[in-house]
Amino acid sequence: MKSLSYKVKLTSVAEKFSLEYVNKPDNIDEIYVTRTDLSRPGLPLAGFFKHFENERMQLIGNMENGYLEELSNEERRSVIENLLQHRIVALVVTSGLSVFPELLELARIYNTPVFRTLMTTSAFTAALSSYLNVELAERITTHGVMVEVYGEGILILGDSGIGKSETAIELVKRGHRFIADDAVVIKKVSAITLVGSAPDVIKHYIELRGIGIVDVKRIFGMGSVKDTEKIDLVIKFENWVSGKDYERIGLDTESEEILGISVPAITIPVKPGRNLAVIIEIAAMNHRQKKMGYDTAMEFMKKLAESDDGEESCDVLSWH
């Protein structure tokens, strides 16, 4: 697994949210956003800069605008200059508010990017925070395959050549969706959520030994692919080892730790004749049932415990 750096171009943010450029510095293409949290600079405008973080994008909404309106031209120029002197990454005026002439003048002097949006401050904050949480999320790239099966995001891990890609194609043929092959970018978008996707250069492509690179979207259609999906379950393929004691009932729960988050996991032994696509479908449905509060293994053991015929219970547990 390999760590990646996290930053997003300021111009990409502007394009994503159709922001109006109020002041566009010459070096705009060299400016990056590196923080997910935003700031409404009420206290800084009042002169309090302790703990101020200039890496955050700053938002001017109705409250900040109302405060600035109450000031004289000289006072307004002074408080705005105090803010821009801290070399903030960018400033966004929300709700389509008018931009004070002093702000425009000082933004040009201090080479500060200034934008405007028609969105309200609350709506813009929520949308931008969500976007940045994904774009700037802590991430790793791992060797594997990612699919969506019955709404469950499945990360398939295993040695090269064990059949991960072939299983993914079979799942696509059965109506499920393909996300990534070979390299899966995993982002930690919250304290409990991981999202998987493919690197842009190989998005929608899959490698099948003996055939080569296949464009899944072109062959199976737009509905066969998905750009990102939450990782709900990790399935690990391993070559069948004769005599190894594999899980038979499902009481023992495995997990895979990724970026500090524990994800439910299953180990599936692979040998000729096993229909791995069907097994993964069953695993996805079973996992979905567990999330909805029904655990088949627990219910099965409960029935065994309630059975009056202990000998019959032992015979059941001795299934091949």
**Topology of the domain covering 137-301:** Rossmann fold (3.40.50)
Residue in 9, 24, 143, 217 annotated catalytic = 143
Rounded Cα–Cα distance for residues 75 and 101 (Å)? 13
Give me the phi and psi of 104, to 5 degrees please.
Answer: -65, -45
Distances (CA, A) of 285 to 54, 135, 282: 47, 30, 5
Q: Which listed residue (182, 217, 236, 288) is catalytic?
A: 182
Q: Are 276 and 268 in contact (CB under 8 A)?
A: yes
Q: Which of 248, 291, 302, 303 is catalytic?
A: 248
- Exposure on the CB side of residue 69, measured as CA atoms within 13 A: 10
Domain 2-134 has CATH 3.90.800.10: no
Burial of 95 (0-12, 13-18, 19+ CB in 10 A): middle
CA atoms within 13 A on the CB side of 165: 21
Q: Which of 56, 76, 164, 176 is catalytic?
A: 164
Per-residue pLDDT of 151-167, as tens digits, reads 999 999 999 889 999 99
DSSP result, 126-168: HHHHHHHHHHT-EEEEEEEEEEEETTEEEEEE--TTSSHHHHH
Is the separation of the CB atoms in 255 and 232 below 8 Å? Answer: no
Sign of the torsion formed by the C-alpha atoms of 117, 122, 124 and 125: positive
Question: In the annotation, is 182 catalytic?
Answer: yes
Can 248 be counted among the known catalytic residues?
yes
CA-wise closest residue to 150 among 287, 25, 15: 287
Q: How confident is the model at residue 6, as a pLDDT?
A: 83
**Distance, CA of 156 to CA of 270 (rounded, Å):** 13
pLDDT tens for each residue of the chain, 320 residues long: 444 458 999 999 999 999 999 999 999 999 999 999 999 999 999 999 999 999 999 999 999 999 999 999 999 999 999 999 999 999 999 999 999 999 999 999 999 999 999 999 999 999 999 999 988 988 999 999 999 999 999 999 999 889 999 999 999 999 999 999 999 999 999 889 999 999 999 999 999 988 999 999 999 999 999 999 999 999 999 988 777 776 666 666 789 999 999 999 999 998 887 899 999 999 999 888 888 887 776 777 677 777 755 555 555 555 54
Residues 6+ apart with CB under 8 A from 139: 3, 4, 6, 185, 186, 187, 188, 259
Domain limits, the chain: 2-134, 137-301
Alpha-carbon span 156 to 133, nearest angstrom: 25
The two structure tokens encoding residue 300: 């099965």
